[in-house]
Structure 1
Amino acid sequence: MPFGTSMPPPHHDTPQHDMQGPELNITINDELRSFVDPLSPIEQAALERSLLAEGCRDALVLWRDTLIDGHNRYELCQKHGIPFRTVHNNTFESIEDVMLWMIDNHLARRSVSDFQRGVLALKKKEIVSARVAERPADEAGDADAAPDAGSPPWNTREDVARAARVSSNTISQIERIQKAATPELREAVRTGTISINAAANVAQLPESAQLAAVAGGRKELQQAARQVREQKSAARPRKEKEVVDPADELATLRSERAAMKDRLATLLTENERLKQRLVNAGLGAD
């Protein structure tokens, strides 16, 4: 199921009130909207067909007047004039609380790509780290203080990788893409035109080279990634040849020679046994 199409986890105690969508002034927060990947053309068409045939069955979720779940459905309902319901979840104290809730919501969905899960998990680490840094010194140092819902473990790359259900190496590659890749290259990763591993290599190129690779399509991107890998491999210092003690080498050769002699003796014995079997069978030997 694509982003924005499921109900939030029922873990909030405050009652949620059903309201009719058309009477509301719904606000779209661009930063929150960025957590929701755009639908592919196939997903867009499928959701549109479902809404036109069955209506908007699941309620949109609002925090105050800000939409926090159901962005794709809201856009299509607006486009076609389809009625929808809304529920309010006003238990959040800040926009950061909303972000953490949305991130956890999306991380739990199987349809989210590895790249998007990594991006979301890194965003959660950023929010949690900022909160920890803002704590008063006495509270931060109090080991008995009750941790909030977004507190560590979120302080290592392994924690982030575990939450995103990818490897630590993949998280490192996504970090590199986020820091060095052009928007065009990041979009190519998001849409699956290029793999995370390949994009992390292409992101090491100058911006102009990245843009040229993206413009050239999948094959050009793969070629650029391969060239970066080859350059890195050529730049690595070659391992020096291991120095072997002559005495050890001589002992190894003697051991191998003895093993070969034993093998030869075994084969000769087996050959004689077969010849004797032929004689006993009355066939003789030529």
Structure 2
Amino acid sequence: MQIKINDVLRAYIEPLTESEYQALERSLLTEGCRDALVLWEDVLVDGHNRYQICQEHGIPFKVTENTSFKTMEDVKLWMIDNNLGRRSISDYQRGVLALRKKEIMTARALELAAEAAAEDAKIAPPEGEDAPAKKPAAMPLASREDIARAARLSTATIGQIEKIQKTAAPELVEAVRTGTISINAAANVASLSPEQQLAAVAGGKKELQKAAKEVRELRAASRPQKEPKEGRPASTVDYGDVPSDVAELRAENIALREKNAALLEEITALQRRISELVSA
């Protein structure tokens, strides 16, 4: 069988880092290709790196065809779920995959709702009879909680990954993808201008951490102080000489508490929107 490579599918999952690719290559050379490559008809779906390495070194491999796929979206959803089930991928990769799953499922829900509305418009029930039951729409990942559950991450981390995807320079995305900077720190650096982001990335890990710290401190300074309750002194936040990672976790904890109320409102609004689409 002539295996075909679809460039969209090959690029759909985050690529391996150089060290990960080399580790896979060593494993295949030592143990052979134990897992079969997955095909959609003759198109390769899972195993692009293994296929490339096996071709380069003449390593035998097996293939299996998944006959359940009907559309490209089916293939993408399977690829997402398959990779979310792997332990080796990073938290950032998990978040990106879960957000992609949300996009596909939301689009499907809207499409099914539109089809149901069109059918209702065509077929009116006889006078005095009730309308037939509507076909339920596919439920999307409606809220950050749903997305976080699919990715096994916190809702705050999902929000940070969304911000990175929207505002981070490609160089900053690569830095967080390869583990040079944490998701939390990258989300802070993504608040800076593209030029400032590039300068921080060029300075390496220490410069990125410094830039993230400066953003956090600027936000803390601009945040209005809460009025102390009667009979209680005003609380102050002074981390003294504690390690920077401890201070970062404390600052993140404060920020997460403040975001909680806003996130609950967002979830309620999204769930209301889904109910409207299903019952439309």
Give the TM-score of the pair, scaled to structure 1: 0.70
Identity %: 63
Assess if the C-alpha contact under 8 Å between 1:62 and 1:68 holds in 2. Answer: yes
Aligned residues: 219
1:170 aligns with 2:157: yes
Which of 50, 55, 66 in structure 2 is aligned with 1:89? 66
1:197 aligns with 2:194: no
1:161 aligns with 2:148: yes
| Cα displacement string for residues 220-267 of structure 1 (whole angstroms, at most 9, x for unaligned residues) | 00000000001111111222354559xxxxxxxxxxxxxxxxxxxxxx
Distance 1:235 1:27 in 2: 55
| Cα displacement string for residues 150-203 of structure 1 (whole angstroms, at most 9, x for unaligned residues) | x32611110000111111111111100010001111111111110010000000
**More displaced 10-residue stretch of structure 1: 42-51 or 208-217:** 42-51
Distance 1:173 1:136 in 2: 31
SS at match of 2:39: strand
1:58 aligns with 2:48: no
Assess if the C-alpha contact under 8 Å between 1:185 and 1:210 holds in 2. Answer: yes
* Structure 1 residues not aligned, in runs of 5+: 1-22, 246-286
SS at match of 1:135: helix
Distance 1:217 1:63 in 2: 42
Q: Which residue number corresponds to residue 47 of structure 1?
A: 24
1:181 aligns with 2:168: yes
Which of 126, 145, 154 in structure 1 is aligned with 2:135? 145
Distance 1:125 1:80 in 2: 38
Q: Which residue number corresponds to residue 211 of structure 1?
A: 198
How far residue 89 of structure 1 moved from its aligned partner, in angstroms, is 1.5
Q: Which residue number corresponds to residue 73 of structure 1?
A: 50
How far residue 35 of structure 1 moved from its aligned partner, in angstroms, is 3.6
Distance 1:243 1:121 in 2: 46
After TM superposition, list the pairs within 5 Å mapping 1:17-32 onto structure 2: 23-24=1-2, 26-32=3-9
User: What is the aligned-residue RMSD (CA, Å)?
Assistant: 2.3
**More displaced 10-residue stretch of structure 1: 134-143 or 66-75:** 134-143
Give the TM-score of the pair, scaled to structure 2: 0.72
Assess if the C-alpha contact under 8 Å between 1:201 and 1:228 holds in 2. Answer: yes
How far residue 69 of structure 1 moved from its aligned partner, in angstroms, is 0.7
The aligned amino acid for 1:78 is Q
Assess if the C-alpha contact under 8 Å between 1:35 and 1:120 holds in 2. Answer: no
Assess if the C-alpha contact under 8 Å between 2:33 and 2:61 holds in 1. Answer: yes
Assess if the C-alpha contact under 8 Å between 2:116 and 2:134 holds in 1. Answer: no
How far residue 143 of structure 1 moved from its aligned partner, in angstroms, is 7.2
Distance 1:57 1:93 in 2: 27
Which of 186, 206, 220 in structure 1 is aligned with 2:207? 220
